Amino acid sequence: MARKNQLRKQRTGTIINVTSKKQQSDIIKALQQVIDYIDQKFSKKISLIHKPEWRLRDIVAELRQTYPDVKFHYHFESSSIRPDGGILCIHGQRDDTLTYPILIAEVKNQGTNDLRVAEGRPRQARGNAIERLGKNLIGLRTALMRESIFPFVCFGYGCDFEDKSSILDRVATMAMFGDLNKTYLHDEGDGKFKRGSFYFRPEPWSVEEMADIMKDIAERSVFYYFSKYGEKHFQ
């Protein structure tokens, strides 16, 4: 297990409590820029909170509230979805128990064959780090079925994502066959395609690159909630 670091910052209406791994440090830095930007953009209009995980029991409770005629089930109270960059949300009214995510971020690194070849070692089978995204995607898409946006973004890098790699089609499949390296926030096809945004390439993504994309998703998500529920719902 990579060592855990706590990042906690408290300011006007904003609380961050992130447990980050070493390989997640850049996305946490980018997330901090997003929070600074959103705080300034929507000063006093919203209250932000960052959740490192979304427990299945809470997702199911919200689904039962939204779809009372449908049965939902989970097994363990401790089970949760833990995106690498956590879930950034805005608070609804005091008696509102729903979660309103404006940004859900993941980062994945896959591929070591470039290093192995440089060291004179044989290539090995491509890894499956990207495959582990599938479970989270199913849970998150289901949790946000009531909304017409999916503020999810994943940044992937490594030699497994070079242009000639068939792994890219695994990513495209998870993206519901949308284009890679393009932001999809709003649902398409009469709400049937809740795609999310998948940015993948061989080279690592810089903090600034991730922050710019994440700011756009978070800002437009806030405007979506304002349009659907009204600004007063979040004050």
Instruction: Identify whether the C-beta of residue 159 lies closer than 8 Å to the C-beta of residue 123.
Output: no
Tens of pLDDT, residue by residue over 138-156, are 999 999 999 999 999 999 9
Tens of pLDDT, residue by residue over 125-140, are 444 667 778 889 999 9
CA 142 to chain centre: 14
Residue 43 pLDDT:
87
Distance between CA atoms of residues 170 and 165, nearest Å: 10
Instruction: Identify whether the C-beta of residue 111 lies closer than 8 Å to the C-beta of residue 158.
Output: yes
Prediction pTM value: 0.84
Residue 111 pLDDT:
67
- Identity (one letter) of the amino acid at 11? R
- Say whether pLDDT at 40 is over 70: yes
pLDDT mean over 182-196: 97
List, in sequence order, every beta strand (DSSP E) within 21-160. Answer: 48-51, 54-55, 80-81, 87-90, 100-109, 152-157
Tens of pLDDT, residue by residue over 148-180, are 999 999 999 999 899 988 899 999 999 999 999
- Say whether pLDDT at 47 is over 50: yes
What CATH code would you report for 5-234? Answer: 3.40.580.10
All structural domains of the chain with their residue ranges: 5-234
Tens of pLDDT, residue by residue over 95-135, are 899 999 999 999 999 864 444 345 444 444 444 667 778 88
The dihedral formed by the CA atoms of 118, 130, 202 and 112, expressed in degrees to the nearest 10: -10
pLDDT mean over 203-230: 97
pLDDT mean over 16-20: 41
Tens of pLDDT, residue by residue over 73-93, are 999 999 999 999 999 999 998
